[in-house]
Amino acid sequence: MTSAALLASDWPVTSVAAVVTVLSLALAVVAGVLALLDRKLPRWVLGLVALLELAVVVLAIQCVVAWIGGNAPADPVVFLAYLLVVLLAAPGTVWWGAAEPGRWGAGVVCIAGLLIPVLVIRLQQVWTGAATVTGHG
């Protein structure tokens, strides 16, 4: 097994991270279409955001449980900072987006939908220490 494979096996939330990514990208598509149509965010989008936030909370809980169990992130302080941003991204942008009429509100939510998968990838990299692996042999 390669060192990269060993690092990847330490990430405790692979399936939940995939769910968060899919929900986030679905939110980005919906909000992007609404922005293109110059529409305000409908109430049902809040349901999608709530579902995404629930998945993010599950991800956070599983990470904490793994951490307590001895599978700790490589850089705990940076990991906690990214985790806090992921937890606040969707609700924060919906709050901001709901206050903006028309395309700008939906556009803000669309950007959050695109940002969250990137943050989840960074969480994994920080957890496993993969961000510091040079790939040399």
Domain of residue 79, residue span = 13-131
Q: In whole angstroms, what separates CA 37 from the centre of its chain?
A: 26
For residue 2, is it within any domain? no
For residue 56, is it within any domain? yes
* pLDDT reading at 2 higher than 70: no
CB 113 within 8 A of CB 28: yes
For residue 76, is it within any domain? yes
- For 94-113, how does the pLDDT look when each residue is reduced to its tens digit (9 = 90+)? 888 888 877 888 999 999 99
Domain count within the chain: 1
Q: In whole angstroms, what separates CA 5 from the centre of its chain?
A: 22
For residue 5, is it within any domain? no
Q: Enumerate residues 6+ apart whose C-beta is below 8 A from 14.
A: none
Whole-structure pTM value: 0.84
